[in-house]
Amino acid sequence: MRNVTKITTVLMILLLTACSPNTTVFTGESDNWEAELKIIHNDNNIVDQYVNLQFKGNDLDSAGNISYEVDTNAGGFGGSGLELNEKGHLKGSDLNNKNVLKTTSAIIFVEWNGEKEEIFLRK
């Protein structure tokens, strides 16, 4: 009976591990921004990408309308005409089936209030 329990436990762990998504997180910062890009590889080659930008300035209203572009090995995604929330965050996502490599780095281009910066992201 103990062997059946052990075998069942091992099979459950293997099943849960095989079905769980694999997440890679990249972070970086520039003079005015902190950035995080989370890439989630699900089953069937579906890849979800989430970006979180944090404005480092004290005057959130000075950021105005913001545009960003995320550039990875599988293309990119972005948004424009966006505003920060009350905590200085800007969030975006891209839900697709592009094959974004887990080992790649990424770059985020940010434009706000006549300013431009590149944020290089690393694991």
pLDDT in tens, 46-77: 788 899 999 999 999 999 999 999 998 767 89
- Give dist(CA 85, CA 62) in Å, integer: 13
Q: What is the mean pLDDT of residues 95-117?
A: 81
- In this prediction the pTM is 0.77
Q: Is 2 helix (H, G, I), strand (E, B) or coil?
A: helix
pLDDT digits (tens, 9 = 90+) for 8-36: 554 455 444 454 568 889 999 999 999 99
pLDDT band at 81 (very low <50, low <70, confident <90, very high): very high
Burial 92-123 (b: 16+ CB within 10 A, else e): bebeeebebeeeeebbbebbbeeeeeebebee
Element (H, E) at 9: helix 2-19
High-pLDDT (> 70) share of the chain, %: 74
